Structure 1
Amino acid sequence: MIEVFRTNDPVELNFAENVLRQAGLEPIVLDSETAGAYAGALPFIKRRIMVIDEEAHQARSALKVAFDDLPDD
């Protein structure tokens, strides 16, 4: 498994998960419970999205396109 995304923002996390699922990948989120339990106290604990090694390039490409296409505020 390879990490392809890391954040504490639940909206970004959900968006990234959905992007990967729409690309036909099966992302796995790690550290949700730990990050949630220590929210605010330990902000350096972030939730991580992992994919299998063979899908890492495809996952990173999908996330790059999705996040680059977001409108600037």
Structure 2
Amino acid sequence: MKELLRTNDPTVIAFAVAILEGEGIGCFQMDVHMSVLEGSIGVLPRRLMVADRDLFQARAILRDVDLLPDDR
């Protein structure tokens, strides 16, 4: 699995998951329950992971909806 996206904004993760699942790309959210350790202040970023084989296509899809910068 490769990291596709890292953000402190849970709405960005939710939007990215919806877009990727709609395109048939499986993804996995990491660090979702870290708020227990940080006290729910949103300091620790969440990561969105995809399979190695889906990374190129997932990056292209998220770039098209302006969730990823062009250099990533």
Shorter-chain TM range is: 0.7 to 0.9
Please name the residue that 1:22 is paired with: 22
Unpaired runs of at least 5, structure 1: 69-73
Aligned length: 65
The one-letter code sitting in structure 2 at the alignment partner of 1:12 is: V
TM-score by structure 2 length?
0.81
- 2: CA distance between counterparts of 1:15 and 1:21? 10
Read off the aligned partner of 1:64 and give its amino acid letter: R
Query: TM-score w.r.t. structure 1 length?
Result: 0.80
Correspondence for 1:51: 50
| Percent of aligned positions that are identical | 32
CA RMSD of aligned residues (A): 1.5
Q: How far has the Cα of 1:66 moved from its partner?
A: 1.2
Question: What is the CA distance between 1:8 and its match in structure 2?
Answer: 1.2
SS class of match (2:16): helix
